[in-house]
Amino acid sequence: MTARSLKPVERAVGLGEQVYIALRAQLRNGAVQAGQPLQEVQLAEQLGVSRTPVREAMARLASEGLLAADRRSFTVPALSLADIDDIYELRCLIEPAALRRVAPLTVDGGVRAPIDAALADAVAAHRAGDAEAFGDANLRYRAAWLALVPNNRLVRMVELYADHMQHIRALTLGRASVRSIVLRGIERISAALAAGDAGAAAAALHDHLLQARRAFVEATGLDNKPAAAHKRSTTA
């Protein structure tokens, strides 16, 4: 038997990776509030695993800035205004660049279908006043266009810095005014994608991020806090 005749062995996702994915999903849906300690033993019991993969997953999330080490436990870090400025500066650099790669493909209605479906769901959820469904549709919208980006490293960067804002987003999307801003932004992005206009799509996404940042800061009241409260957290 030659090496050429060998085929890759399919492997199931490891237990540690499954725990990491499950905990990250909890953070993304806003189920854990900023400052709330994560109990290793309790999480292990809920997931039906030992404490080791839970500890490893939380350490990995902390290395990504999604959790903060707090003595012997982990918490979701409370982001300062300076943290948010840093995150959105990075998002404004990388997300429009990623979307530029997608626009030439999305003139094809079949390729664009998952993007359009997520947008339609966002519109319906907003009309129904369903913040949870709107948040889910918004996540699927980003996932739909990211799925078309050929650079996997770029995709991971986009997901990481978007996830830094997720627990704040989960709180602020309860406001109809914030949902309106988000919806207008993704509608403008979708129009550019339908036209295959990479420049317009990137510009629309850049403006959308700036509008979202402003809405989130206002909704959380960070713009009204004293300057001393705007110091960067040491963990984000």
Clarify whether residues 71 and 88 are in a common domain: no
| DSSP states of 144-177 | HHHTT-S-HHHHHHHHHHHHHTHHHHHHHTTSHH
The CATH number of the domain where 160 resides is what?
Answer: 1.20.120.530
Domain boundary among 29, 48, 75: 75
Clarify whether residues 43 and 154 are in a common domain: no
How far apart (Å, rounded) are the C-alpha atoms in residues 158 and 146?
Answer: 9
Clarify whether residues 107 and 179 are in a common domain: yes
How far apart (Å, rounded) are the C-alpha atoms in residues 190 and 81?
Answer: 29
pLDDT tens per residue, range 62-75: 888 888 887 777 88
Clarify whether residues 105 and 29 are in a common domain: no
How far apart (Å, rounded) are the C-alpha atoms in residues 27 and 18?
Answer: 14
pLDDT bucket at 170, cuts 50 / 70 / 90: low
Cα-Cα end-to-end distance for the chain: 51
Confirm whether 135 is domain-assigned.
Answer: yes
Q: In what order do the strands lie in the sheet with 37-38?
A: 37-38, 73-75, 68-70
| DSSP states of 32-71 | S-BTPEEPHHHHHHHHTS-HHHHHHHHHHHHHTTSSEEET
Confirm whether 1 is domain-assigned.
Answer: no
pLDDT tens per residue, range 134-165: 989 998 999 999 999 999 999 999 988 888 77
| pTM for the predicted model, two decimal places | 0.74
pLDDT at 174: 82
pLDDT tens per residue, range 37-60: 888 888 889 889 998 999 899 999
pLDDT at 3: 47
Phi, psi angle pair for 20, to nearest 5° = -60, -45
Residue 150 corresponds to which amino acid?
Answer: P
From residue 134, how far is each of 34, 85, 194 by CA, in Å? 22, 24, 22
Check if the beta carbon of residue 64 is closer than 8 Å to that of residue 236: no
Clarify whether residues 29 and 118 are in a common domain: no
Clarify whether residues 62 and 145 are in a common domain: no
Clarify whether residues 37 and 91 are in a common domain: no
Clarify whether residues 62 and 174 are in a common domain: no
Clarify whether residues 25 and 128 are in a common domain: no
Owning domain of residue 30: 15-75
pLDDT at 212: 85
Clarify whether residues 92 and 29 are in a common domain: no
Clarify whether residues 63 and 93 are in a common domain: no
How far apart (Å, rounded) are the C-alpha atoms in residues 119 and 122?
Answer: 5
Clarify whether residues 121 and 55 are in a common domain: no
Number of domains in the chain: 2
